[in-house]
Amino acid sequence: MSKKSLMTHDPVVEEVRAIRAKLWKEAGNSVEGLVQLLDQYFPELRRPRSPKHRKTKAVR
C-alpha cells in the first residue's frame, strides 16, 4: 500500500474529518458562520477586529 492509501483509512483522520464536517454544517456552510461559531466556542482566543478604513477628505 502506498502512503496515500494508508492515510485515507486512518481512523484518527476520519474522526477529524467527521468533526470538521459537523462544525462546518453547524456554522451554516460558510466561512463567516464558522468564524462566529469558533468565536462562541473560544471567546478567550478572539482577536479584536479592526474597524474598516474610512476615506477621508484630502486636506489642502
List of residues 6+ apart from 7 with CB closer than 8 A: 13
Q: What is the total count of domains within the chain?
A: 1
Residue tagged 474597524 (cell numbers): 51
Domain that holds residue 29: 10-45
Whether the model clears a pTM of 0.75, i.e. scores above it, the answer is no
User: What is d(CA 47, CA 51) in angstroms, rounded to the nearest whole number?
Assistant: 12
Residue 56 lies in a domain: no
pLDDT in tens, 7-58: 568 999 999 999 999 999 999 999 999 999 999 988 888 777 666 666 667 6
> By the 8 A CB rule, do 20 and 27 touch?
no
Residue 16 lies in a domain: yes
